[in-house]
Amino acid sequence: MGALDGKVAWITGAGTGIGEATAMCLAEAGALVVLSGRRAEVLESVAASVRDAGGRAEVAVLDVADAEACVTAATGIAARHGRIDILFNNAGINVSARHFDVLSPADWTALVQVNLNGAFYCVHAVLPTMRAQGDGLIVHTASMAGKRHGYVSGPAYSASKHGMVSLSASINIEEGRYGIRSTVISPGEVATPILDRRPSPVSPEERARALQPEDLARTVLFVATMPPRACVNEIEITPTVNRLNATMLGER
């Protein structure tokens, strides 16, 4: 018996990095994982890996920036499986031209539309099902950029992640009476493809010292296996050798 047997978990940004690792981890614990993202072929590859490992997975291609598409995806999951136990709000982007001297209004809008509005759209889409079943867990991938003010992430990404932290807190204030819990995880640097968008390259040595996707997957699993009476409001997790601290201190 897995800790998540019988549970249905919807994961956005599931094609790579943290989403992919979390899909494998939750499926290993017994959950049916529904994988969402914009690239069908990448999602199908992750789903095949889950199935090869003995888990259950299905694909629901989705652009979280499309509010109606989020509703369609959530209602489809509920119709097929009768429930949605976990939403992992993990889809997120950043841009290379990210600082005020080069950041365009178009890039700001596109980033906020995915990182913050897309998170809200998915939350809004699952709440009716979770309220009706009297239980539900929503986990968000935020960032230390949503807890501290620094240079590296840029103002659009930082603002979107600060908004996500507030969104999660608001869910707990309003929806706990329905048995719905929300956790926001704020990691430091994670060795995922988003590092490729950094204006300055990240070396292989620096990537090796960063958090790895499986570290975040284990964190999500920890939250998902807590009893329904316990709400883990926030988690901050950073690399032991935290390069961003050095950056904020002016050492780089």
- Calpha distance 19→21 (Å, rounded): 6
Which two structure tokens, joined as six digits, stand for 83?
Answer: 């429930």
Residues β-bridged to residue 114? none
Q: What's the pLDDT score for residue 245?
A: 57
| pTM for this model (two decimals) | 0.93
Residue 241 phi, psi (nearest 5) = -95, 95
The per-residue pLDDT for range 146-191, each reduced to its tens digit, is: 999 889 999 999 999 999 999 999 999 999 999 999 999 999 999 8
Can you list the alpha helix ranges (DSSP code H) found in the chain? 17-28, 40-52, 67-81, 105-112, 118-133, 155-175, 204-209, 213-224, 243-248
Which two structure tokens, joined as six digits, stand for 126?
Answer: 């699952």
Sign of CA dihedral 80, 128, 27, 142: positive
Name the residues annotated as catalytic: 157
Name the nearest CA neighbour of 229 among 94, 159, 137: 137
Residues of the chain predicted below pLDDT 50:
248-252
The per-residue pLDDT for range 68-78, each reduced to its tens digit, is: 999 999 999 99
- Calpha distance 53→247 (Å, rounded): 40
Q: What's the pLDDT score for residue 243?
A: 66
- Calpha distance 232→169 (Å, rounded): 11
Q: Which domains does the chain have, with CATH numbers?
A: 8-248 (3.40.50.720)
Q: What's the pLDDT score for residue 80?
A: 97
